[in-house]
Amino acid sequence: MYAEIFAKYTDLLRPYLPDPFHPVPACSIDFQPLNHVIGQHSQEAGGNAMGISGSDPDRIIIEIQCSWTLASDDQLLHDISRDLTEWLGNKVPEWLAEDPRAASYLPLLMNDASGDQNVTGSYRDYAKFRALQASHVKGNIDRL
């Protein structure tokens, strides 16, 4: 899986990286383990907003990173990252269907998401948090 992910990212970046009109690009993909023990310790300490629990499996967090110097490259490199993310969204279920032990995938994590991703929407208790936020906002408006 790692090799396939790396190859896909390389293919997406191939037209961009060797172009001399795109100075100093630095792109990488990182695979970060998120051991199930983290969920256990979090649950023992009262839980967390993301809903990671002691019954969660080990996970691999995939971090897509790229930095560049030209503002004119913003959309292109953002699109490359989005293309990889969409590809992963289709590919990971295929890998899991082939071998359910292969991996679990948590596509969004607070500190690793792009600005256009709904990070909190991936939280298990998202509806509960939305309702709490709405009641808090309404309570503040009522006090005005």
Mean pLDDT across 1-7: 91
pLDDT number for residue 120? 74
pLDDT number for residue 4? 93
pTM reported for the whole predicted model: 0.69
Provide the pLDDT confidence category of residue 84 given band limits of 50, 70 and 90: very high
Mean pLDDT across 34-48: 87
Mean pLDDT across 40-66: 83
For residues 113 and 29, the model is more confident at 29
For residues 23 and 26, the model is more confident at 26
Report the percentage of the chain scoring pLDDT > 70: 84
pLDDT number for residue 116? 73
State how far the alpha carbon of 27 is from the alpha carbons of 47, 78, 131, in Å: 34, 12, 39
Strand partners, 102: none
Residue among 33, 47, 54 at smallest CA distance from 103: 33
Provide the pLDDT confidence category of residue 124 given band limits of 50, 70 and 90: confident
Q: Kindly tell me if the per-residue pLDDT of 58 is higher than 70.
A: yes
Please report which residue ranges of 14-125 form alpha helices under DSSP H: 36-44, 74-98
pLDDT number for residue 2? 87
Are 81 and 36 a contacting pair, CB within 8 Å? no
